[in-house]
Amino acid sequence: MIKKLVAEFIGTFWLVLGGCGSAVLAAAFPDVGIGLLGVSLAFGLTVVTMAYAIGHISGCHLNPAVTVGLWSGGRFPAAEVVPYIIFQVLGAIAGAFVLYLIASGQAGFSLAGGLASNGYGDHSPGNYNMVSGFMTEFVMTFMFLIVILGATHKLASPAMAGLAIGLALTLIHLISIPVTNTSVNPARSTGPAVLVGDWAMGQLWLFWVAPLLGALVAGLVYRWLSPDE
């Protein structure tokens, strides 16, 4: 069990450092910034790389919503849900802290920039309100879990699961970065929010509630769609 938990810590650390790091360090870098497309791809790549690195150890959840969705879908034991979530959150905080240490080496850096935190209203990249943010996070997480549950089904091709899941996360970011800066992952949201504090912590509730609800419903729906689980 401890090896599974450490794998989840490492994987979530990489997701936050790679995904949020691309947004903070490279998205708007002078002349060669990677932009929204690059950040979306970076998040997808963190999942693809970790899927093949630790998927055989822990299942490569990297996300409390994924853990809850897999439990809801009958694929994960209830006793392991809370330990997985704890280590995912710890990994995310560690990833955000390392990102902060790197980013703060640039003159003029300030946490007021958000460190790629998720938000709505004035803190949404496109100034979308709370309802839009909630709906986006719920629906995107729902679809993410449908892809995960389908790609990892016993009748699916196991070699392609990591790629399908990573591409799904890339697509989700392409759609929803303007709305919430894209979470679909409570741990990913918590890491930067802990360091930024203030508004990021005040709005963090949405990025736990909406993804967890979306994942819970997706697990139940996929379980109904696929009764041979």
Per-residue pLDDT of the chain (229 residues; tens, 9 = 90+): 999 999 999 999 999 999 999 999 988 766 667 888 899 999 999 999 999 999 999 999 999 999 999 999 999 999 999 999 999 999 999 999 999 999 999 888 889 888 999 999 999 999 999 999 999 999 999 999 999 999 999 888 888 899 999 999 999 999 999 999 999 999 999 999 999 999 999 999 999 999 999 999 999 999 999 867 5
Note the pLDDT of residue 28: 75
Q: Please tell me the predicted confidence (pLDDT) of residue 227.
A: 66
Query: What does the pLDDT read at residue 32?
Result: 64
DSSP character for 19? I
Residue 58 exposed, middle or buried by CB count within 10 Å (0-12, 13-18, 19+): buried
pLDDT at 159: 82
Which helix (H) or strand (E) segment is 219 a member of? helix 206-225
**Helices 81-103 and 64-72: crossing angle, nearest 10°?**
160
Q: Which two structure tokens, joined as six digits, stand for 115?
A: 């460190």
Q: Is 160 exposed, middle or buried (0-12, 13-18, 19+ CB in 10 A)?
A: exposed
Q: What is the pLDDT of residue 88?
A: 98
pTM of the model: 0.93
Task: Check residue 35 and give its pLDDT.
Answer: 87
Which residues constitute the domain of residue 107? 2-225
- What span, in angstroms and rounded, lies between the C-alpha atoms of 178 and 119? 10
Query: Quick one: pLDDT at residue 107?
Result: 86
Domain total for the chain? Answer: 1
CB 160 within 8 A of CB 151: yes
- Residue 97: CATH number of its domain: 1.20.1080.10
